Amino acid sequence: MITQSLRAHGPFFDPGAIVDGCGTDVDVCVLPAGQPNYLFTDHMPDNGKVWGGAVRVYPAGLAWKFNRSEAKLFLAHDADEAGQKYQQLVWSVLAAARRDDILDLQDAAARLPRHNSLLFHAPLKTPADAMTAMQRIATAKPKAPPAPAPTPAPDPEPAKPVVESTDEIFATLRSKLSKAERDLRVMTTDRDSWRLKTIGLTNELNRSSQRSEEAREALILAAQLQTKVSELSERLRTTATRARRIDRQDAGEAVTTWRPDAFQDAGEAVRHAILGAWVDRVPSSEKTEAPLPEYRIGPMFADSVDELDPQLRSKALRCVVDVLIGRVQAHRKLHPLRRGEGGANAPWSREDGAVCFRVSVETNVAAARRLHFWRLPDGTVELSRVVVHDDPNP
């Protein structure tokens, strides 16, 4: 897959040269920069993404989705750098084809100088075009090895052509569908519908066992089904990982690093600990939506955090992260800190217009901790102190 850079009029890697070098058994696709590239990237796993003038080599099948080293990536910042990597790119393609038994590498070396009339795709315009290109890669069929050269003999028998029977084709398809059914049986209820589709596909394949075209379509559908199952499995793993992290946090495990001795300034130690809590608190997929904003640290905040035991300190820092990114949950009972116990009393405020707020670090325990912080008129948060419940001062 050859991509184009937004700052260039064409690809850095020469498609014609790659066509000449790779031979007729390899598909070459050109993906334009901009929206087509964005759509293609959205439909690919992390191991298959490519953009910005780079080239990625996809071996036949789907094993590259689970092994980062399978789909080789070649980067170039201009045409000169791409030219320097041309030979390495071509041999990587030929090595992948040889590994998948698509071509004989010994014959490929002799074939390199010859121009080949390779199937060359037009630029991909839509996600459907990209999916079609990837389906061609996923369903590429290894070609039969060439018949050995006949040895001299008095009466050599002519080499018999290798013909794959229709029964063998459908046996292969049935084997792939059986594997898909075994994978689906371990899925949750959300994926039961896909197992039904596999059974229906198997029945359809049995009814059309004499028609090669329908068998080819069934193989494509089976590949799409396997891709969907892999995506659902990845979602389950991600959900399980996130659930374990939440359970660990709810159990009060100290997941932040408090190292005031490693910093000359106590404020820097606080910022380091808050950053660590943010990294652990916010999932990677949400960090762009919930970044740490600019904030201030009051003169007494570092000492109030240092006095806590590791478990309480971890809870306090997670509460700070919730306040800073604007995700304070209802059970924390965020409210202005008032001058007195009456609900009609005015909240604490400063001459610069800042108002003091109070939020729960922990609940339903003796001497439960609270976080006091000032919110400035421009929305900036200034962390004041971590105190016990009975401390009414800012």
Query: 16-74 pLDDT, tens per residue?
Result: 888 888 877 788 888 888 888 888 888 888 878 888 889 999 888 777 778 877 888 89
Q: What is the mean pLDDT of residues 105-134?
A: 45
What value does the mean pLDDT of the chain take?
Answer: 78
Q: Residue 184 pLDDT > 80, yes or no?
A: no
Q: Residue 272 pLDDT > 80, yes or no?
A: yes
Q: Which pLDDT does position 208 carry in this prediction?
A: 65
For residue 272, give both structure tokens.
């380091």
Q: Residue 393 pLDDT > 60, yes or no?
A: yes
Q: pLDDT tens for residues 288-318?
A: 999 999 999 999 999 999 999 999 999 999 9
Q: Residue 136 pLDDT > 60, yes or no?
A: no
Q: Which pLDDT does position 323 carry in this prediction?
A: 95
Q: What is the mean pLDDT of residues 329-339?
A: 90
Q: What is the mean pLDDT of residues 219-240?
A: 82
Element (H, E) at 200: helix 192-207
Instruction: Tell me the CATH number for domain 260-388.
Output: 3.30.2310.20
Q: What is the DSSP string of 9-40?
A: SS-SS-HHHHHHHH-TTS-B-EE-SSHHHHHH
User: pLDDT band for position 278 (50/70/90)?
Assistant: very high
Q: Which pLDDT does position 117 carry in this prediction?
A: 32
Using alpha carbons, list the distances in angstroms from residue 12 to 38, 74, 77, 94, 117. 19, 11, 8, 20, 22
User: pLDDT band for position 105 (50/70/90)?
Assistant: very low
Q: How many CB atoms lie within 10 A of CB 189?
A: 6
Which one has a higher pLDDT value, 248 or 125? Answer: 248
Please state, in angstroms and rounded to a whole number, the distance separating the CA atoms of residues 373 and 382: 6
Residue spans per domain, the chain: 2-138, 166-248, 260-388
Please state, in angstroms and rounded to a whole number, the distance separating the CA atoms of residues 369 and 87: 65
Q: Residue 352 pLDDT > 70, yes or no?
A: yes
Q: Residue 265 pLDDT > 70, yes or no?
A: yes
Q: Residue 75 pLDDT > 50, yes or no?
A: yes
- Least confident residue range of 134-138, 272-276, 381-385: 134-138
Q: What is the mean pLDDT of residues 225-245?
A: 78
Please state, in angstroms and rounded to a whole number, the distance separating the CA atoms of residues 1 and 17: 14
Q: pLDDT tens for residues 77-100?
A: 898 998 898 888 888 888 877 665
- Least confident residue range of 86-95, 106-115, 127-136: 106-115
Q: Residue 384 pLDDT > 90, yes or no?
A: yes
User: pLDDT band for position 210 (50/70/90)?
Assistant: low
Query: Interior CA angle at 363 toward 361 and 366, to 5°?
Result: 105
Q: 58 with 134: CB under 8 angstroms?
A: yes
Q: What is the mean pLDDT of residues 110-124?
A: 39
Q: Which pLDDT does position 292 carry in this prediction?
A: 94
Q: Residue 15 pLDDT > 90, yes or no?
A: no
Q: Residue 118 pLDDT > 80, yes or no?
A: no
